[in-house]
Structure 1
Amino acid sequence: MNPETSLPTDTADAKAEAKKRRAAAKAEKRAEARGRRGRSQDGADGSPADGESSADGSGGAAPSRRTGLAGWRDRLVGLWMRYVHPVLDVVSPIGWSVLAVAVTCWVLGLLLHLTELNVVALVLTVPLVVAGLFVLGRSNYKVTLDLQTHRVVVGTRAVGRVEIANPTQRPILPSRIELAVGSATAQFMVPRLDADAEHEELFAVPTKRRAVLVVGPVRSVRDDPLSLMRRQVTWAKAQELYVHPRTVRLDEAASGFLRDLEGTPSSDLSSSDIAFHALRDYAPGDDRRHVHWRTTARTGKLMVRQFEETRRSHVVVALDNLAEHYASDEEFELAVSTAASISAQTMREEKELTPFSFDERQRTGTFRQLMDDYTVAEPLKEKISLHELGQKATDLAANASAVMMVVGSHTTARELNSAANQLPIGVMAVAIRCVDDAEVKRSAIGSLDVVTLGSLETLARALRAVGR
């Protein structure tokens, strides 16, 4: 093309229009960039950021910043919670009292020109300033809380450790670490830590009683000698420690289930079991040991025994957890340990188990779940008739073969008889009365066997008496 030749008019117009479109696109991009910056600031103030879903669940653009009085209120609340509240929270109640008296003395002393009040104000201001110096500064720890195990038995030592590390490249001054264990708090000092240095503290948790103890959190604390100001930072979250009830192993002879050896018969027929049902003709594949030879000789053809399949023993452990039925906390703990021991033995023998109390039904999926549920069992202050315990046993396990009711010393014979009358006919019913320091003895209330024990160590002997 000749360079001197002019462009056609329509081509020049197209170029001009393309230039306008590019300019408009650039202006639109700049507007979108400004909008994204504004929305990101709204997200920092607590509103959804760009790309997040709105409150109604739609994926559109985030709502714009609130304006007017509501917007100013939101900004003030955000500033208060972020900057002011953490500072005010450092001052203890004693510190606030001293500060209030100091301000009052300063105001009255300056207005009334009373030197004595000014002196008092100065004396109170000095410890406040010193306390502020004690809590200044920041520590950057890396703290690990490690429990050796999260489940122990009453009386077993529970051990854990707290590891404090300095992940920074500058030394950290000594500080005090607090570890909450239940309602108590353990304290230990952390020495000066150089860069990448570590410090370890071992601790033991007392497990004298059944409970769920909350171990943690771990906090670093800075405060002054007069406790006017206190600054604490949480580094490690709390963990739960289950202190399971104490249990004893029971052999099968002591489990009290000897009468239930055959289980409960069902309508299913089997060629080999315990419960004899009838005779039938021999079929190829039948076990020759089940041939009934006397009938075979009389009829002239092979006859074999037909059996009913028996079900596995179904044991119900009913814990009476009404507070009014127990003379002391120790007596209730004995009842919980007794119920847990019987339930544990039943689970070991792979028998069907239904453990429950008035307000809860213990889980039987695993041994740990069973013990966890017994750990949180608590006495009820409510007024409930004991016959509801027997009724609940019938409702939960109508086909039960043995029901073990664990009760306290204040449970009367009439209440026990009322509870036993709610059980199905033919079920083996045993009531275990837990009485502090009592000797093992056996009695009966109608068809209900009643055994009394005073310590967990005598449980096996008490249940052997039932098995006779």
Structure 2
Amino acid sequence: MTDGSSPRSTVTREVTGSSGGSTVTTARTRLVGERTGWSADALVTVVRAGRAVGRVASRAGRAASSVVTPLGWVVIAVAPLSLGAGYLWGWTELVLAGAVGVALTIVAVAYLVGRIRLHFQLVPPPVRVAVGDEAHARLVVTNPTSRRSFGTVVDLPVGERIVPIAVPGIGPGDRVEPSVALPTDRRGRLTVGPVKTVRADPVGLVRREYHWADAAEFIIHPRTIDVPSTSSGLVRDLEGRPTRDLTVSDLAFHALREYVPGDDRRHIHWKSSAKTGTFMVRQFEETRRSRMLLALSIASVDFGSDAEFELGVSAAASLGARAIRDARDVDVLVSEITPEFAKRAVVAVRPLPTLTPNRLLDELAVVEHGPAALGVVDVARLASDAVPGVSVAILVVGSTVAPRRLRTAAAAFPASVEVIAVQCDPDTVPGRRSLGSLTVLTVGSLTDLRRAIRGGETE
């Protein structure tokens, strides 16, 4: 231990052991250096006090910055400067301006005194609604105190919007339940809440927000229509329809051929074998297993307007949900979008969940078109490679896709695949035409889609 008037003046401690001596250096050691006695203690005390004051000032600064607006900081900074300059130079106007600033600051602080004693509970809307449906959020405001509350205004964030809700004065133990209509004019995911109240002065120098209730999310599904079952009409169920592919075991009998080693003896046709003197076995046509592919183009160049794209999303949602309810094997694909600053284009398609109709509609609720998405031709090629065994492929596009591009997209699928193009154009006459083996349905509304899928004439 070094010499000194107090044990606390010790700055180093020698530790000896089997590994040798070592010196432990502390913050006090670095601070006081060679000082000892009362000077070292005084220096340490001053530093500790300074740090404590700094922590208090930091907390106070954070608290002030959370309630003082930029205008408030300007007034707080300018008011004392105006008073000082006015008294120094004898300018009455500056003194008056500084006095007004100080008075406004005092009044603004008075608006923050007290607390709101109301209890807020947000009753969210249904988790899922369709475009155009009514959706309301209800706010339950309760006054648990023994005094009547004053009227106030609370803010309810809805997506990127702030909806003000006027809450009247509430008697002791009473409650009110104001309701607010939520926007459902466009599909998407919206976050409602949290409810917040704001205490602010009329000038806008201070502002304090109180968050009361948790936020809730609701999904606005694309508008859909109940189309006919995919087992009837234009998109009929291909289950059990024979193809030209031959197999040794199925339901559709095709012909007889000579027995070869390895054939199943159960398929030997004994009568024909007796007549020919050679074992003859049955040969069958392979039946087609129905698998539907639904590809939605989200390239901006494939649609003439936002209205066309929204109709395309609704058409894909209607067809996909119908196929899922029919228990059909269905794959729904959209293009991946290349990020804005990507070094190279993303050439891929993204499968959407088809476990339930709601899962599919949840994903379609947030699908957006973009200039960096793949066009329908590339989507068809990638989809054909990604989903084998497709029997029916439906391509959903807009009015800007020319017939030549539609034929090129259809050619990406094997000849055994029935390809249907649903071309969405609200400004044209609906109809149905054939481009070789490709069937093109032009629809101007979801009602036209239902008529086209039913197989009748569009109006």
- Fold conserved between structures, TM > 0.5: yes
Within a 5 Å distance, the mapping from 1:361-440 to structure 2 comes to: 361-382=351-372, 384-440=374-430
- Please state if 1:449 is matched with 2:426: no
Residues 239 and 445 (structure 1 numbering): CA distance in 2 closer, same or farther, change over 3 Å? same
Question: Displacement, 1:187?
Answer: 1.4
Within a 5 Å distance, the mapping from 1:33-432 to structure 2 comes to: 79=56, 82-167=59-144, 173-193=150-170, 196-252=173-229, 256-258=234-236, 260-262=238-240, 269=249, 275-276=252-253, 310=287, 312-359=289-336, 360-382=350-372, 384-432=374-422
Amino acid at match of 2:213: A
Amino acid at match of 1:325: D
Amino acid at match of 1:441: G
1:259–1:467 contact (8 Å) kept in structure 2: no
Unmatched segments (≥5 aa) in structure 2: 1-43, 257-268, 277-281, 337-349
Name the counterpart of 1:61. Answer: none
| CA distance in structure 2 between the aligned counterparts of 1:70 and 1:432, rounded to whole angstroms | 77
Name the counterpart of 2:339. Answer: none
1:141–1:235 contact (8 Å) kept in structure 2: no
Residues 123 and 357 (structure 1 numbering): CA distance in 2 closer, same or farther, change over 3 Å? same
TM-score by length of 2: 0.73
Question: Displacement, 1:103?
Answer: 3.3
Deviates more, 1:163-172 or 1:359-368: 163-172
Amino acid at match of 2:429: E
Residues 250 and 381 (structure 1 numbering): CA distance in 2 closer, same or farther, change over 3 Å? same
1:263–1:313 contact (8 Å) kept in structure 2: no
Residues 264 and 229 (structure 1 numbering): CA distance in 2 closer, same or farther, change over 3 Å? farther
Residues 94 and 431 (structure 1 numbering): CA distance in 2 closer, same or farther, change over 3 Å? same
Amino acid at match of 2:139: V
Name the counterpart of 2:265. Answer: none
| CA distance in structure 1 between the aligned counterparts of 2:386 and 2:406, rounded to whole angstroms | 19
Question: Displacement, 1:358?
Answer: 0.5
Question: Displacement, 1:179?
Answer: 0.5
Match of 2:448 among 441, 455, 458: 458
| CA distance in structure 2 between the aligned counterparts of 1:424 and 1:211, rounded to whole angstroms | 36
Question: Displacement, 1:264?
Answer: 7.3
| CA distance in structure 2 between the aligned counterparts of 1:222 and 1:329, rounded to whole angstroms | 41
SS at match of 2:139: strand
Structure that is richer in helix per residue: 1
Residues 189 and 441 (structure 1 numbering): CA distance in 2 closer, same or farther, change over 3 Å? closer
* 1:47-80 C-alpha deviation (Å, 9 max, x unpaired): xxxxxxxxxxxxxxxxxxxx99999999778646
Amino acid at match of 1:315: M
1:264–1:313 contact (8 Å) kept in structure 2: no
Amino acid at match of 1:453: V
Unmatched segments (≥5 aa) in structure 1: 1-66, 280-291, 300-304
Aligned-pair Cα RMSD in Å: 3.7
